[in-house]
Structure 1
Amino acid sequence: MILPIMAYGSPVLRQESVDLQPDYPEVDQLIANMWDTMYNATGCGLAAPQVNHPINLFIVDSQPTYDAMTAEDKALYYDGDQGVKELFINPHITYFPDRYWSDDEGCLSIPGLVGSVKRPWQIAIAYQDENFVSKNAIFSGMTARMIQHEYDHLRGKLYLEHLSPLSKQLMNRKLSKILNGKYASKYPLKYV
């Protein structure tokens, strides 16, 4: 089922999420709905707070992005990484290197806007899978960027916080339209 995505200005997007427990009601259905919702919106990641569940859960599918890249751009991926389709429960990023890079980011909760964000090139992350089995992994390049973006959502942060003051100022008119429910999106948005 396709869920409405919480629009910029929704309080849940600024709330720190709590750990997901195995007995969370209908978590399997929530996860299935999140995949449907993300693909319907042509997204590459979605965090549970974006569908009004302030829990430590997000999904990422960087495979379509990887498949659409040129051979030169594919060098932005870690050795052997051809994109991932992964569910992250109760994640904790455990390592950020000193190497950073900037690239454009957008957000399904802030449709129609993109901004250049500087993020670490690589991360190590500890998390649980859909069976609550603990995992540790290292991701680089675009996949690491997508994971960091979704991880920020669990901390009540938006990519806007990584932008320069001038970049944010240039977005004010469009952000105001979203805040006031006057932005026409191609997917269901929920304004609060």
Structure 2
Amino acid sequence: MIQEIMRDTVFLSQKAEPATPADMPVAQDLLDTLTDHKDGCVGMAANMIGVNKRIIAFDNEGSYMVMFNLEIIKKSEPYETEEGCLSLTGTRKTKRWKCIKVQYQNESFQTRLKTFTGWTAQIIQHEIDHCEGIVI
């Protein structure tokens, strides 16, 4: 179900709670909402639709991917960039990493490791910031 975009920075500043299998409907809502905003959005975290859980959905080189309870376990090659966000007005400068290794759980809540680079890595880092309550 397509959800309304959360714009309350107090809510967005809260650190997300771990996701559980009971949160699968949230993941579907996140995908539906991201698909609805595909023209101006490449990734979303659950708090962007008003659910404070550690779930993200993003465009992974042409197909959408959902991750639960993710964290960056390795990063390299820092750079400065500027990003916008569907939940906020304007753009902000931020530091990102060209290469990240992420530990996450898939839709079956199996733990996985995956390395991402470039634009996809940047999207994931932005969404992890949402999970951490970091508003950029």
Q: Would you say same fold, with TM above 0.5?
A: yes
**Structure number with bigger Rg:** 1
Aligned to 1:163: none
Aligned equivalents of 1:133 and 1:127: distance in 2?
Answer: 8
- What is the aligned residue count? 134
Report deviation, 1:101: 2.0
Aligned equivalents of 1:49 and 1:157: distance in 2?
Answer: 11
Report deviation, 1:144: 0.6
Which of the numbers 48, 71, 74 marks the counterpart of 1:95?
74
Aligned equivalents of 2:70 and 2:127: distance in 1?
Answer: 10
TM-score with structure 1 setting the length: 0.65
1:52 matched to 2:50: yes
Report deviation, 1:55: 0.9
Query: Which SS does the other structure have where 1:5 is aligned?
Result: coil
Query: Which SS does the other structure have where 1:121 is aligned?
Result: strand
| Structure 1 segment 28-177 matched on structure 2, within 5 A | 28-42=24-38, 43-64=41-62, 85-97=64-76, 99-111=77-89, 113-159=90-136
Report deviation, 1:33: 1.5
Runs of 4+ in structure 1 deviating by more than 3 angstroms, as ranges, are none
Aligned equivalents of 1:62 and 1:158: distance in 2?
Answer: 22
Q: Which one-letter code corresponds to 1:101 in the other structure?
A: Y
Aligned equivalents of 1:54 and 1:8: distance in 2?
Answer: 12
Aligned to 1:6: 6
TM-score with structure 2 setting the length: 0.89
Report deviation, 1:158: 1.5
CA RMSD of aligned residues (A): 1.6
Report deviation, 1:54: 0.8
Report deviation, 1:35: 1.1
Report deviation, 1:8: 4.3
Query: Which SS does the other structure have where 1:127 is aligned?
Result: strand
Aligned equivalents of 1:96 and 1:149: distance in 2?
Answer: 14
Q: Deviations over 1:127-149 (max 9, x none)?
A: 00011011001111111100000
Aligned to 1:182: none
**8 Å Cα contact 1:62-1:142 kept in structure 2:** no
Unaligned runs of 5+ residues in structure 1 are: 65-83, 160-192
Aligned equivalents of 2:94 and 2:131: distance in 1?
Answer: 18
Q: Deviations over 1:25-84 (max 9, x none)?
A: xx33222211111121231111011111111111111425xxxxxxxxxxxxxxxxxxx6
